[in-house]
Chains A and B, each alone.
Chain A
Amino acid sequence: MAEFTPANRTLISSATLARPRGKVIYWTVLSVVLVVFTLVFVGPLYWMATSGFKSVHEVLHNPPTLVPKDPHPSNYKTAWTQLKLAKLLWNTFYYAFGALAFQLVFDVAAAYALSKLRPVLGNIVLGGMLATLMIPSAVLIIPQYMTVLDLPLLHVNLINHPWAIWLPTVANGFNIFLLKRFFDSIPNDLMAAAAIDGAGPMRTLLSIVLPMSRPILGVVSIFAVVNVWKDFLWPMLVEPDPSKQPINIGINSLSQGVPQNVLIAALAISALPTLLIFLLFQRNIMSGLTAGSLKG
């Protein structure tokens, strides 16, 4: 735990807290905060996990029960098979990590070219990419959909194909902005040194730039995966085939046809992967998200 010195002190000084009255207030506030926050943020998750065990009768019962009277673990099994959760989760995973791979390859290469190779008209390309940040994504949904329906020049229809999710994620001005700004901070002397040693641009990118860019690559990766995992409207439009849908759309479209207890069990299962990943990598994820969004 960090020490509290005058330089990093907060609203209330440590001296105030050390007094008897301060101590009492502090410990009261702390315990209230702990209880309230646990209830508010974990409470609903607890309710989700336990309601998944309730019988159809109990889950619709008033008053609701805190602990399932007669636990039905089979709800989870029913949810898993009836809503084809394995398939839905796999689809989501496939879309998210495919999108991550495309963004890492194309956006990193592009930001590197714009930052270090600086071709003719590079600034216009950069301007065009950053300008897309000004356009709200919801406005572009309709014309993007028409584009995916019939890709100009190539005349391919990407509907129901993972490309329809992967490729548009590459057109992310925020990635270009974050990556280019990070690459700009890598001294050009290093590039020159690599060039003198006979390294081409690809070699320089792989052996010098990328190893130094781990923090920013982490931020971009987290955003890439989380964005696809949480996206709703776009995958709903471009993956209408039920066997190709990600978890959000799949569960919602089947939600009307299953009993409430099975649906809640399905929700609990759907929440598990991201919650587990978060608890495992919470330090990296939280610092990455604040670093990325604060400076972005």
Chain B
Amino acid sequence: MAATTVPDKTTRRHAGRAAGPRTQGGRGGLSRKVSQNLQAYGFLIGAILCFGFFSWYPMVREFIMSFQQTRRGVTSWVGFKNIKTVYHDPYFWTAWKNTGMFTLYALLIGFVVPFFVAILLNELRHARAYLRILVYLPVMLPPVAGALLFKYFYNPEYGLFNRILKIFHLPTSQWLDSSHTALISVVIAATWMSMGSATLIYLAALQNIPGELYEAADLDGAGLWSKIWHVTVPQTRLVLSLMLLLQIVATMQEFTNVFLMAGGNGPENSTMTVVYMVYQYGYRYNNFGGAAALGLFLLLVLAGFSGLYARLNRNSD
């Protein structure tokens, strides 16, 4: 930041001398404006092209494709046929139910656990750096390593998890192999892999809480829980709600972990998520119109959450 002060002085020294010619406007001003704008768009062109090709145009295309069908290279308008097809797909509601359950489990485990882990870590006066690195370690794993490793641990016959349950004389589980536990098994693994980032973000937020608030709560005779409930939670409310929305939007787009660990749909379609169904429509049934139509449903549901996120985020500045 030392660099900022040095040019500041030169600004002042040169300002008087340069003010004349620069503010002269007039006829020369127009062509200078044009060339300045051209220059600015020269800087922008790379990003504009990339946004155009890979973001703006696909957005428009998403809507168009939902109402079109391509058969043997011939594309035609089919009205609401795609939307009806996916809506009447026998697995439409299964996929939504699974996605909803996945999101709910992910919130129960993946939202609450990191918050309390952060509170706990924030209280410890020793080994802080070590614990932080530990929590963040799985985040750096490539998803394939984390997911396939957990798949191995989950194996009902020779897996580590059933062995641990057995040592403690607890009932063992079929984990990924049973339609009752497959979804929650994926959520547990996904939480292990991703909770580090949420934990670190909460930790940063906890460190911004003024200590005087806890001091005052102590004087009022507040216990541990009431301090958490009346000081910690309200003080981190904004970060908590941002993370909540971010996590809902992310988990409702779950694909990678169910694909890697449960082969996508899982036993009796118990892990089939909406995004996996989109993938199936596109790349298994070759029905890209149907896939786009299903995407529209997802967009509709998630737009509300994303909008709320953007709103909260603007307020946080």
Contact = CB atoms under 8 A, between A and B. Distances in A.
Do the two chains bind?
A: yes
Interface of A: 1, 4-13, 17, 26, 29-30, 33-34, 37-38, 40-42, 44-45, 47-48, 51, 59-64, 92, 102, 105-107, 109-110, 112-114, 117-120, 122, 125, 128-129, 132-148, 151-152, 167-168, 170-171, 173, 176, 187, 189-190, 192-194, 196-197, 200-201, 205, 208, 211-212, 226, 229-230, 232-233, 237, 247-249, 251-252, 255, 260, 263-264, 267-268, 270-271, 274-275, 277-279, 282, 286, 289-290, 293-296
Contacts of B135: 37, 41
B148 A255 contact: yes
B76 to A, nearest CB: 16
A190 B255 contact: no
Given A143-B61, A264-B149, A7 B292 contact: no
Interface stretch (B83-91, B115-123, B177-185): B115-123
Contacts of B131: 33-34, 37
A245 to B, nearest CB: 11
B109 interface: no
Nearest to A107: B47
Given A51-B152, A193-B7, A119 B143 contact: no
A141 B278 contact: yes
Given A136-B306, A147-B58, A194 B278 contact: no
Given A135-B59, A294-B239, A143 B292 contact: yes
A289 B140 CA distance: 12
18 contacts: A1-B128, A10-B122, A11-B228, A34-B130, A44-B153, A64-B158, A64-B159, A132-B59, A133-B310, A138-B278, A139-B296, A139-B298, A168-B55, A171-B53, A196-B15, A233-B256, A264-B148, A277-B140
Given A152-B53, A190-B11, A247-B144, 12 more contacts: A8-B211, A11-B231, A45-B137, A62-B163, A63-B166, A106-B46, A135-B59, A146-B61, A147-B53, A260-B152, A277-B140, A282-B136
Given A138-B255, A170-B46, A290 B204 contact: yes
B157 to A, nearest CB: 6
B249 interface: yes
B4 A110 contact: no
B31 interface: no
Contact of B7 (A5, A60, A145, A190): A190
Interface residues of B, number: 118
Select the residue from B119, B192, B200 with max chain A CB neighbours within 10 A: B200
Given A11-B123, A193-B11, A113 B43 contact: yes
Contacts of B210: 7
B43 A263 contact: no
A248 B141 CA distance: 10
Contacts of B317: 295
A34 B257 CA distance: 28
Contacts of B153: 44, 47
A118 B44 CA distance: 11
Given A10-B123, A143-B59, A208-B7, A252 B43 contact: no
Contacts of A134: 303, 306-307, 310
Report the 6 A-B pairs with minimum CB-CB distance, sorted nearest first: A110-B47, A119-B40, A106-B46, A113-B43, A117-B40, A170-B50
B214 A9 contact: yes
Contact of B125 (A4, A45, A229): A4
Contacts of A13: 214-215, 218
A193 to B, nearest CB: 4
A137 B253 contact: yes
A43 to B, nearest CB: 9
Nearest to A113: B43
B3 A212 contact: yes
Given A33-B124, A64-B160, A193-B10, A142 B3 contact: no
Interface in B271-317: 275, 278-279, 282-283, 288, 291-292, 295-296, 298-299, 302-303, 306-307, 310, 313, 316-317
Contacts of A8: 207, 211
B14 A196 contact: yes
A11 B214 contact: yes
B134 interface: yes
